[in-house]
């Protein structure tokens, strides 16, 4: 397979202006270059290259536009106090990408090669990693099906692309607690669907609920699609509730995305001897805990969202304030520890960090 070949470099001669730290929105600006490679049935994955960032030329009949056969990932590059660039558990993102590929009938990628590609791209774009506290270079690897064909079948042609975006906080609230609405009408996915794959369709299906949610809601909280009872995830992050000293997060059930940050939170809590349970948790249980005063904290965890405290849950007109709308101690400790490791400010006892 040509994957073994080196990555062709075609750098651009002049660069774009970099955004100021106070103008960093999530995912609006992109760096000077991108990584690309192609797949055809005959050649497999081939022609890896780093080229100037520019619009793609894709046939209007490309299958991705019609049947949505696509997957993506989200990861970040961080700058350490010594000025080194580093990644956080990137191998897990490419493992998950192959898991998503399998669900969407997309040919798998060579995970080691993908990591090499991302490192080579970041090394070229290192000046784009923002320096201000809480900022990073967001990495978006994705695969689209490009065969020009309108029959419903797996495409025989694909493009694997990696683009980079200097980012600040994902939510406008920054690291302050956000307000989340529990979704009663729509569902994101069901077990057996595509929920545990990172594919665009899951996100398209989530937009309506977000659109009709009341003012001031950052995101919606999805319940299971069958009983409409059990908490699943928020869409941009996994969720955790601290009730009576125990942290509870919904167990992976085939419809919840297995977050890299989720897994890291679980490992940190275990290391700190904080009781952590992965199990079904219903909204009813959260209501009861709120009523009897044992709901201590709630927070979300994701690559883009990092650790986002949830200050208020809204369901059908009921408003549940959590921890007086303030950031809880566990959320704060997790945020400080995770970002400390990611930015190379504290020791990484887990071997999560990958230098570039």
Stretch that binds ligand COI, among 47-55, 63-71, 211-219, 300-308 (CB under 6 A): 300-308
The count of other CB atoms within 10 Å of the CB of residue 153 is 12
Q: What angle do CA 274, 276, 282 make, to 5 degrees?
A: 135
Ramachandran category for residue 169: left, alpha or beta (phi over 0 → left; psi -120 to 50 → alpha): beta
Q: Which is nearer to ligand COI, 180 or 304 (CB)?
A: 304
| Out of 236, 249, 327, 342, the residue judged to bind ligand COI by CB under 6 A | 236
Instruction: Report the alpha-carbon angle 80-86-87, nearest 5.
Output: 135
Q: Which stretch binds ligand COI (CB under 6 A): 106-114, 141-149, 175-183, 297-305?
A: 297-305
Q: Give the per-residue contact string, 196-225, with ligand COI (x = CB under 6 A; - = no).
A: -------x----------------------
304 lies in the binding site for ligand COI (CB under 6 A): yes
CB of 261 to ligand COI, least distance (A): 8
User: Which residue's Cβ lies closest to ligand COI?
Assistant: 74
Among 19, 141, 168, 302, binds ligand COI (CB under 6 A): 302
303 binds ligand COI (CB under 6 A): yes
How many C-beta atoms lie closer than 10 Å to residue 132's C-beta?
A: 13
Among 37, 39, 63, 74, binds ligand COI (CB under 6 A): 74
**Residue closest to 49 by CA, chosen among 102, 117, 122, 123:** 117
Those residues with Cβ within 8 angstroms of residue 17's Cβ, 6 or more apart along the chain or in another chain:
none
Residue closer to ligand COI, measured from CB, 225 or 302: 302
Alpha helical stretches, state H, 205-292: 207-212, 260-271, 283-291
Q: Which of 118, 117, 26, 116 is nearest to 77 (CA)?
A: 118
Binding positions for ligand COI, rule: CB under 6 A: 74, 203, 236, 302-304
């Amino acid at each position: 397979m040509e994957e073994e070949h080196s990555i062709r470099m075609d750098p651009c001669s002049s660069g774009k202006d970099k955004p100021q730290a106070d103008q960093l929105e999530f995912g609006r600006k992109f760096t000077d270059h991108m990584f690309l490679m192609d797949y055809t049935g005959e050649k497999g994955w081939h022609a890896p290259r780093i080229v100037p960032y520019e619009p793609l030329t894709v046939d209007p009949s490309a299958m991705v536009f019609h049947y949505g056969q696509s997957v993506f990932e989200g990861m970040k590059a961080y700058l350490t106090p010594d000025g080194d660039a580093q990644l956080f558990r990137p191998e897990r993102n490419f493992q998950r990408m192959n898991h998503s590929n399998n669900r969407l009938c997309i040919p798998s990628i060579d995970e080691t090669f993908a990591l090499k590609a991302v490192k080579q791209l970041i090394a070229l774009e290192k000046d784009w990693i923002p320096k201000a506290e809480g900022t990073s270079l967001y990495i978006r690897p994705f695969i689209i099906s490009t065969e020009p064909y309108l029959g419903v079948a797996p495409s025989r042609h694909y493009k694997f692309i990696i683009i980079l975006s200097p980012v600040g906080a994902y939510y406008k609230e920054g690291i302050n607690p956000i307000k989340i609405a529990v979704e009663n009408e729509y569902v994101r996915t069901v077990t057996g669907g595509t929920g545990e794959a990172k594919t665009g369709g899951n996100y398209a299906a989530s937009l309506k609920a977000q659109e009709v949610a009341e003012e001031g809601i950052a995101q919606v909280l999805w319940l299971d699609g069958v009983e409409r009872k059990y908490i699943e995830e928020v869409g941009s992050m996994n969720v955790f509730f601290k009730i009576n000293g125990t942290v509870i997060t919904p167990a992976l059930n085939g419809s919840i995305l297995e977050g890299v940050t989720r897994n890291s939170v679980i490992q940190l809590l275990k290391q700190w001897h904080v009781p952590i349970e992965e199990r079904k948790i219903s909204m009813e249980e959260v209501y009861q805990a709120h009523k009897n005063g044992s709901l201590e904290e709630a927070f979300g965890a994701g690559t883009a969202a990092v650790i986002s405290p949830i200050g208020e849950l809204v369901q059908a007109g009921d408003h549940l304030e959590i921890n007086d709308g303030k950031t809880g101690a566990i959320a704060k400790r997790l945020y400080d520890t995770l970002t400390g490791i990611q930015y190379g400010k504290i020791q990484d006892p887990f071997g999560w960090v990958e230098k570039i």
